[in-house]
Amino acid sequence: MTITITAFERSPDGGKGLARDTRVRWALEEVARPYEVRLVSFRAMKEPAHLALHPFGQIPTYEEGDLVLFETGAIVLHIAERHAGLLPPDTDARARAIMWMFAAVNTMEPPILELVTVKILESDKPWSQARLPLVVDRIRNRLGQLSSRLGDDDWLDGTFSAGDLMMVSVLLRLRPSGILDEFPNLAAYVARGEARPGYKRAFDAQAAINA
């Protein structure tokens, strides 16, 4: 069955790969599955046809036959469960890979996204500058904990998994801020993710749309 995902007609980041369709593209590249892309404008994302697919009016969505999914983590997990390459065969290791997927979106990403709140959504508020250091400290705290756990390892739990795919994707959001470079092992971890051929193909595909 044909897989169709949605992506921004024009990504807010101008093609830097931070829109969440890149995560899904990367997963599909890792398992070597072809896919089609339907581009959606900001206006269309809030209209009934798209809201029927994604109740929160975002991208990406994933359509495959009768199945419609939203939530990047769920889409990546669905792909990982159906095709070899993103989840280890050992049952316990598989559970830990899924654990890292949840850690990426539930523990690491929320404080990181607060940078967007303070720098963009609330940039015109009088408290914006004073709040920024608090937000950055919360991110540093999480990065320090993740850095301690990763140590000198290449990936979070043995071989590369969907957990690393999600975690690298979340950490990539920090590159423009420079905070990631305070944790050299995390910066190297992210660079290892970006060096994977599947990531490069995913990045190039989204960049081409936004060129």
Output 166 or 180, the one with its CB closest to a second copy: 166
DSSP output for the chain? --EEEEEESS-TTSSSS-STHHHHHHHHHHTT---EEEEE-HHHHTSHHHHHH-TT--S--EEETTEEE-SHHHHHHHHHHHSTTSS-SSHHHHHHHHHHHHIIIIIIHHHHHHHHIIIIITTTSTTHHHHHHHHHHHHHHHHHHHHHHHTT-SSTTSS--HHHHHHHHHHHTTGGGTGGGGSHHHHHHHHHHHTSHHHHHHHHHHHHHT-
Q: Does 41 bind a second copy (CB under 8 A)?
A: no
Q: Determine the interface stretch with a second copy among 1-9, 22-30, 52-60, 199-207 (rule: CB under 8 A).
A: 52-60
49 near a second copy, judged by CB under 8 A: no
Give the HSE-up count for residue 184: Cα atoms under 13 Å, Cβ half-sphere.
1
107 touches a second copy by CB under 8 A? yes
Which range in 6-14, 37-45, 67-75, 183-191 contacts a second copy by CB under 8 A?
67-75
Q: Is there binding between residue 77 and a second copy (CB under 8 A)? A: yes
Binding-site member from 55, 89, 178, 197 for a second copy (CB under 8 A): 55
Using CB under 8 A, which residues numbered 134 to 163 contact a second copy? 134, 142, 145-146, 148-149
Taking the least distance from each CB to a second copy, the nearer of 103 and 180 is 103
Q: Binder to a second copy among 9, 38, 44, 122 (CB under 8 A)?
A: 122
Task: Work out whether 69 is an interface residue with a second copy (CB under 8 A).
Answer: yes
Please report whether residue 126 would count as binding a second copy according to CB under 8 A.
yes
Among residues 8, 26, 35, 70, the one that binds a second copy under rule CB under 8 A: 70
The closest alpha carbon to 62, from 31, 27, 96, belongs to 27
Q: Which range touches a second copy (CB under 8 A), out of 3-11, 33-41, 51-59, 175-183?
A: 51-59
